[in-house]
Amino acid sequence: MSADPTVRVRFAPSPTGYLHVGGARTALFNWLFARKMKGTLILRIEDTDFERSTPEMVEGIVQGMKWLGLDWDEGPFFQSQRLEKYQETAKKILEAGQAYYCFCTKDQLEARRSVLQAAGQPPKYEGNCRKISRVEAERRIAGGESAVLRFMVPQGGVTVIPDAVFGNVEFANIELEDFVLLRSDGIPTYHLSVVTDDIDMRITHIIRGADHLSNTPKQILQYRALNAAMPIFAHVPLILGPDKTRLSKRHGATSVIAYRDEGIVPEAFRNFLALLGWTPAESTREVMRDDELISAFGLENISHSNAVFDRDKLDWFNTEYIRSYPAERLFPLIEEEWKKANIHPVADRQWLLSTIDLLKPRARNLKDFSVAFRGYFSDDFTYDPAAIEKFLKDDATRNALSDLAQRYAALSEFTEQNAEQVLRDLAAEKGVKAGGFINGSRVALTGQAVAPSLFAIMVALGREKTIARLQAARNIPDPPSSS
RNA sequence: GGCGCUAUCGUCUAGGGGUUAGGACGGAAGAUUCUCAAUCUUCAAACACGGGUUCGAUUCCCGUUAGCGCUACCA
């Protein structure tokens, strides 16, 4: 598929207060498609359910999209501010003879539904008010009765959805009920507002979750009634939790922003999300940058089946990105983590950058730089009890580290080579393996058993801190004996 | 219940009438001995079930089962 600047797509979330994972993936696919085609991405907030929507809730969605680096070209538009448009469309459908007023009350409808259900019938609205003529309906409305406007679904035939991912999907019209277009207070339902806006905004491709597939015939019917050009539909499978049910709070974080707070790099999250339900036609490599993702993207390679959100794989992507990022790029993200952890490194930027480079091959998460690697950036760090247990529990080693510290103090030049030589000489004199001192020193210096090469650490920390921490090893409390 | 969608290792997936059914994450084992959550090597692990069609089905068709979705004056 080649660039087509007339392509117009939209991401149309309802304002729930945050951008959830499924929504983010839909937004991402729309974004990838728009960027690939050099088309236009529109952000539209579907806030016609006033009871559940507030303007502030949009902030969470915008924040999530910004974090993910998904920019849009038009909007955000708010459906709550376009109410007249929906009334106009409703009127057109009414004029076309494809809608009618319904005076049934909620209670009546509910009662009828339960009767039908009890009788084993599909609980759909039976169209009782179809027989009320328009003049009579208008007279009753003028008389103060409240009514909804329903679409008049054909009572036979099939509506087929030409879907770019699922192919042709057919629905028998008889299965559809005469759905509500306008509520009794004049507010449109979703079915009316999407169609109105998608036509008005000249949307060419509707890329959205597969949960909308079954609703699509209702929308196609409206396009026909309005004699409007049909967009291309592309329904993308849903994202499931590990138990294969729809992803929800039960499964952990559903808000995209929570992943930022958990130390995930945005590009890693985006890469992971892109590959959930889509695979590039010919690629074996999974770590893909923006431009690769964009040029490889296509509706035709979207999967037909739902995908389970795999946290382990996300963490792997995160590791890959942290490792491959230059320290410069990691720096602002890590600074955020330091701030949150109350770490204020006193060092010049160059030192910080090179230390980040030293550490990043072993990082899996941005939080590592403020937790496991805390000792590199702050003197206020703790010792991992398991590390002490493993490498630094006997007094002989601890005392030897003090000797080592003294020799380092006497050294004319403190380099990796010299530091190693001194340590190995000391071990030889004491008739023990150097490894014991190396591992013990590592724990004394960083509090961790997992770390880069010891002598690189020493030089990074500098002679002063190295000596101080080696000497402090004697005073490290023994780990609480655990069973 | 009705309608729709889906079904390849635990997970994401490639593949497709004849293949040792491929890759990635995760898992296991080994190497390294300056640690490992690093690195390298190796291994285990899948075509849901039943019928067709066919010389031959994991692949095509039908059914069953299961999962998911929709079935509102929610979106």
Q: A336-358 burial, b if ≥16 CB within 10 A, otherwise e?
A: bbbeebebeeeeeeeebbebbeb
The answer to whether A362 CB sits below 7 Å from nucleic acid chain B is yes
A79 and A193 Cβ atoms separated by less than 8 Å? yes
Give me the A residues in range 290-329 that sit within 7 A (CB) of strand B: 301, 303-308, 310, 312-313, 315-316
A418's CB contacts (< 8 A; 6+ apart) are: A411
β-bridge partners, A43: A11
For the CA atoms of A167, A168, A174, A176, the dihedral, rounded to the nearest 10 degrees, stands at: 40
The answer to whether A250 CB sits below 7 Å from nucleic acid chain B is no
Nearest to A392 by CA among A455, A434, A458, A436: A436
Distance CA A259, CA A21 (A): 10
Q: What are phi and psi of A266, to 5 degrees?
A: -55, -40
A276 and A301 Cβ atoms separated by less than 8 Å? no
A378 and A345 Cβ atoms separated by less than 8 Å? yes
What is the number of H-type helices and E-type strands within chain A?
Answer: 20, 12
Instruction: Provide the pLDDT for residue A51.
Output: 66
Instruction: Provide the pLDDT for residue A250.
Output: 77
- The ipTM, to two decimals, is 0.94
The model carries a pTM of: 0.93
Residue reference for tokens 């695979």: A279
Six token digits for residue A242: 């590990």
Instruction: Provide the pLDDT for residue A181.
Output: 97
* Interatomic separation, CA of residue A437 and C1' of nucleotide B39, rounded (Å): 23
The answer to whether A240 CB sits below 7 Å from nucleic acid chain B is yes
In eight-state DSSP terms, residue A345 is -
Instruction: Provide the pLDDT for residue A479.
Output: 57
Active site residue A367: no
Catalytic choice (A38, A66, A91, A249): A249
Residue segments in chain A with a per-residue pLDDT below the cut of 70: 1, 50-53, 283, 478-483
Six token digits for residue A157: 């035939």
Six token digits for residue A411: 């050294």
Six token digits for residue A247: 């992803």
User: Burial of A115 by CB count in 10 Å (0-12 exposed, 13-18 middle, 19+ buried)?
Assistant: exposed
* Interatomic separation, CA of residue A435 and C1' of nucleotide B33, rounded (Å): 8
Closest protein CA to C1' of nucleotide B39, residue? A361
The answer to whether A433 CB sits below 7 Å from nucleic acid chain B is yes
A99-102 and A180-182 strand pairing: unpaired
Distance CA A293, CA A381 (A): 40
* Interatomic separation, CA of residue A392 and C1' of nucleotide B40, rounded (Å): 29
Instruction: Provide the pLDDT for residue A285.
Output: 87
Helix (H) or strand (E) holding A151: strand A148-151
Helix (H) or strand (E) holding A99: strand A99-102
Residue A242 identity (one-letter amino acid): P
The answer to whether A438 CB sits below 7 Å from nucleic acid chain B is yes
A403-408 contacts at long range (C-beta below 8 A, 24 or more positions apart): A404/A437, A404/A441, A404/A470, A405/A466, A405/A467, A405/A468, A405/A470, A405/A471, A408/A463, A408/A466, A408/A467, A408/A470
- List all nucleotides in chain B with at least one atom under 7 A from a protein Cβ: 1-8, 10-15, 23-26, 33-38, 67-75
3-state SS assignment for residue A192: helix
Residue A386 CB neighbours (<10 A):
13
